[in-house]
Structures are given as C-alpha cells and as structure tokens.
Amino acid sequence: MTNRLFTVVGLVLLSAQVFAFQAPSGQTPTPAGQAPPGQSEFVPVDQLPPSEQLPAAPLLVAAYAFAWLAVFFYVWTVWRRLNKVEADMRVFERRHGQGREGASGVNRTNPR
C-alpha cells in the first residue's frame, strides 16, 4: 500500500518536473540571426523582441513548487516511518502485556 503511494507521489513529482520543463521549451526562441531569404546584410539587435523571449513565470512557479513539494514529501516520509515504528512499539507492548506468550515469534523488521 505504502509502496504504491510512494510510486504515485514520485510520479506526480516527476510529471510536475516534466511539465515545468515542457512549458518554457514550447516557446524556445529561434536563433536571432536567421536571415529571411533575399536579405543583403545582418542587422544586429541588442535584445530579443518580447515575442521571442522565454517566459519566466512558469520557471519561477516550477522552482517554488518543487521546493515546497520536496519539503512536504520529506516530511511525509518521516511521518510514515514514525507511524511504522510506533505501530511496531504498540504491537510489542501488547505482546508484552500478554505475558511474553508470543515473544519468540517476534518479527524483526528493518527499522530503516
């Protein structure tokens, strides 16, 4: 169950990244020096005209979105592991409360 959740979140993050990378590249500027046919000389320009520039907003949003998502993802993994450890502890205490009857069958899960 948790493995599936993990995969889903991972895929969401990955697609967020892919989406972020897709958005600006759809408007990649064409090389500014491409001469239309029949031009006799190149005319240098200082700045790309606004229609050919990369929009900054999607990149900015993607950057902040990733920062937030990464932090929340980490907190979620810590929370998940904490829940597992606490569940193990409750099982252990319950078994102890039963007077060590099931103690020999303790399942040593890897705490990592």
Task: Tell me which residues touch other proteins (CB under 8 A).
Answer: 17, 20, 24, 54, 56-57, 59-60, 62-64, 66-67, 70-71, 74-75, 78, 81-82, 85-86, 88-89, 92, 96, 103, 106, 108, 111-112
Find the shortest distance in angstroms from Cβ 37 to other proteins: 26
Q: Write out the two tokens for 60.
A: 């900015």
Find the shortest distance in angstroms from Cβ 90 to other proteins: 11
Find the shortest distance in angstroms from Cβ 99 to other proteins: 13
- Rounding to the nearest 10 degrees, give the CA dihedral for residues 19, 22, 24, 25: 170
Q: What is the C-alpha separation between 106 and 112, in angstroms, rounded?
A: 17
Angle between helix 57-97 and helix 2-25 axes, rounded to 10 deg: 170
Question: Quick one: 5 or 82, whose CB is closer to other proteins?
Answer: 82
